[in-house]
Amino acid sequence: MNWLKRFVWLLVFSGSLGNSILGYTKDSSTKSVQKNPAIKRIMARRELRVLSVAEPGLSGLPRDQTPSQRELMLLYGLADDMKVNLKMIYLDNVAKLIPMLLDGEGDIIAANLTITAQRQRWINFSAPVDKVYEQLVVSKKSPLAKLADLQAKTISFERGTSYYDSLERLKQQYPQLKLKYAPRLYDTEELLSQVGAGKISAVIADSNYIDAYRHYRDDIKIIYTLPDEQNIGWGMKKEAGGLNKQINRYLKNTLPRYRSREFTGDLPQLKTRRIVRILTRDNPRNYFIHRGHLLGFEYELAKKFAKQYGLHIVMVVPPKWNDLIPWLKRGYGDIIAAGMTISPARKQLDGITFASSYGSFYQAIITRANDRSFKGIFSLKGRTLVVRQNSSYWETLKQLQKKQLGFKLLAAPNNMETEQILENVASDKYDLTMADENIFDLEQKSIGNLKLAMRIGSPVAYGWVVRKNNPILENAIKEFFRKEYRGVFYNLLYRKYYTNAATTEKHKRQFKLGQNQKYAISQFDPLIKKYSAQHKFPWSIIASQIYHESRFDPNAKAWDGGMGLMQLMPATAREQGCGNPYSPDDNIRAGVAYLAKLRDYTEYNVSPGNRVCFALAGYNGGYGHLRDARKLAAEQGLNPDVWRNNVEKAYRLLSQPRYASRARYGSCRSDIITKYVNEILIRFQNYLINVKQFNERQNKTRKK
């Protein structure tokens, strides 16, 4: 496609010219030289190239099967059906999809794309993969209640979408409606979040995305549903008729298996669907986002299990702990993998069974590190223990109360994680709690000020849970743990999350200021200065960050995969073209470039110092959590453009269930992130003094 045709298409597809310009149309009568050439090219490459749209930053923490995830599962199945690999090609703009397809950069488009007459003049569509309605939403707190209330209000929508035409038709009925394109990097979920926070009056979106959003947020309401049902389809070139027929045959056989949310089939049926839904909890052990990567002990175990059976996993996170078993029984998930203790009461529940056991941990009473009054079991008299009522700890402590030890048992909220309860003990908000010893060990490393007061009873084990009417799946899980438990993979995974988590492996050298008189801070000063200058950072702050990351050890490795001086994650190293992350030059170059990229995500009207703070927070905890923290700061009446006592405070809220459950990227270890930023800032100030003293010594030496 030449530049003029591309320009015309971009104008048309972006809504700038609507249907008034359609001067270029593909010739649908083009004769294929070969029979089904599109399929032959795919088979020759052994690769199905799918054009889609990338969301800005991250795609969030999936907590149920989203529309894009459902579409991706269908695509994996199509690639399997064609016996080729799936290659996703993500673009940053919907308007680029059709030009890229027509240029031969992809084989199909799969991006929740509405089938419209305008688009059909350029490309062919498959049979519908979904049916949706377009809906207008406003903030739940908004006084707007019906379509007529939107008169003279502004409706925001994404560029390049079919919403433009729908809203133009709506304006014929309500001419005072105002339409506004969303900022370029705003996707559907971002727009819904903005309207929920009251920053945007109204938004139009497809019903499937609204449903997915409302799974974890309740801050929007639908005030109008447009009457015409819309079909979502996959796009192909007009000459790719053979490919279209093959896709339609696949969809006819496959789509019915993906329609219902409730599904209780056994392993053979899961293999037919090609997905397995894992019910879990969003916490620092099971499932979470860290530096832009999905991680978690249960998450990685589940991925390993699914891979052995050719399944793709979908993570499902119910609102509360006590929703896990009811959701499994209803068919909202296939396996509970959430570090669930095998307790006597749970073993008696109808309809479920523990497929296998793993781990062996004591349950223990936990208090603060400075609590010297606890001398033994009788020290419980007059004390208060706080645990979730639906936890195995509650069962244990109820049995202990029968010994008339004189302690009080209080129920924590059912959506509160054990980690948060331990934080509340450390901060003296709660008196005592009970936790598994391995969880205590992890939290003690992370937040400190905790002490194991005493172990209670015998060791307990965790187990995955399935429905009793899924015996094949149950046996498959038993075989999986029989093979993997205490094996190399399991042991490495356990050490990753329970032994090394939140710490970098011991450094070979502990660098001290003044150790080498040749340099102000470290032997890497010249490299740090070079790359800091390229990206306009004070070099002392980069030096402070490197010290925090690796203690200036170029060979340092971390539990999460961080490598070298700046602890580059593997994906970050690849993104920045870092061929050898243990090379000081290559590592610092890539690390500073990535930090600059994070800084430049922040608006330029934010002060330079705060932009650096935000970049550091994003570097440590991931850009997604930073976005959540800034949004939450605005919701709390804090300044989203200021770090100290504003976004910093909002971060701390994200470790609390009531806020984390509504955050796009879930909960985060806010204490680690805020400590990371603040310690780097403090060290930076000390380094400035050290650099000044070094320069003074150098000047004196020159004068001599």
pLDDT tens for each residue of 300-347: 999 999 999 989 889 999 888 999 999 999 999 999 999 999 999 999
Fold of 259-347: D-Maltodextrin-Binding Protein; domain 2 (3.40.190)
The answer to whether residue 33 scores a pLDDT higher than 60 is no
The answer to whether residue 378 scores a pLDDT higher than 80 is yes
From the list 92, 131, 106, the residue with the least C-alpha distance to 49 is 106
**pLDDT tier for residue 517 given thresholds of 50, 70 and 90:** low
Q: 108: which DSSP letter?
A: E
**pLDDT tier for residue 703 given thresholds of 50, 70 and 90:** low
Distances (CA, A) of 569 to 55, 61, 288, 502, 595: 20, 18, 16, 14, 13
Fold of 361-470+490-499: D-Maltodextrin-Binding Protein; domain 2 (3.40.190)
The answer to whether residue 525 scores a pLDDT higher than 70 is yes
Which of these CATH numbers, 3.40.190.10, 3.40.50.2300, 2.40.50.140, 3.10.290.10, describes 3-131+232-254?
3.40.190.10
Percent share of the chain, pLDDT over 70? 91
The answer to whether residue 224 scores a pLDDT higher than 50 is yes
The answer to whether residue 185 scores a pLDDT higher than 70 is no
| Class at the top of the CATH hierarchy for domain 134-228 | alpha beta
User: What would the mean pLDDT of 664-679 be, rounded to a whole number?
Assistant: 88
The answer to whether residue 576 scores a pLDDT higher than 70 is yes
Q: Which two tokens stand for residue 326?
A: 């009811």
* Residues 693, 560: Cα–Cα separation, whole Å: 37
pLDDT attached to residue 142: 92
Average pLDDT of the chain, as a whole number: 87
* Residues 391, 436: Cα–Cα separation, whole Å: 11
pLDDT attached to residue 509: 43
Where do the structural domains in the chain lie, given as residue ranges?
A: 3-131+232-254, 134-228, 259-347, 361-470+490-499, 525-693
Distances (CA, A) of 403 to 389, 396, 432, 463: 19, 12, 18, 29
**pLDDT tier for residue 402 given thresholds of 50, 70 and 90:** very high
The answer to whether residue 352 scores a pLDDT higher than 90 is yes
Distances (CA, A) of 180 to 141, 152, 162: 22, 12, 14
583-624 per-position pLDDT tens digit: 999 999 999 999 999 999 898 899 999 999 999 999 999 888
**pLDDT tier for residue 21 given thresholds of 50, 70 and 90:** very low
Report which residue type is found at 586.
D
User: What would the mean pLDDT of 482-491 be, rounded to a whole number?
Assistant: 92
pLDDT attached to residue 697: 79
HSE value, Cβ hemisphere, 13 Å, CA-based, for 221: 10
The three-class DSSP label of residue 504 is: strand
136-167 per-position pLDDT tens digit: 999 999 999 998 888 888 999 988 788 988 99
Q: Which two tokens stand for residue 302?
A: 């589940």
The answer to whether residue 516 scores a pLDDT higher than 70 is no
Q: Which two tokens stand for residue 582?
A: 């243990």
**pLDDT tier for residue 272 given thresholds of 50, 70 and 90:** confident
Q: Which two tokens stand for residue 148?
A: 């007529």
Q: Would you please indicate which residues are annotated as catalytic (active-site) residues?
A: 549
Report which residue type is found at 62.
P
The three-class DSSP label of residue 515 is: coil
**CA-only gyration radius of the chain, Å:** 28
**pLDDT tier for residue 442 given thresholds of 50, 70 and 90:** confident
Phi, psi dihedral angles at 316 (to 5 degrees): -120, 120
Residue indicated by tokens 């296939």:
334
pLDDT attached to residue 20: 32
pLDDT attached to residue 508: 38
Contact present, 184 and 160 (Cβ < 8 Å): no
Lowest average pLDDT, out of 122-126, 210-214, 463-467, 651-655, goes to: 210-214
CATH no. for 525-693: 1.10.530.10
Q: Do domains 361-470+490-499 and 525-693 have the same CATH topology?
A: no
Contact present, 622 and 292 (Cβ < 8 Å): yes
Contact present, 230 and 174 (Cβ < 8 Å): no
The answer to whether residue 56 scores a pLDDT higher than 90 is no
Longest alpha-carbon distance in the chain: 88
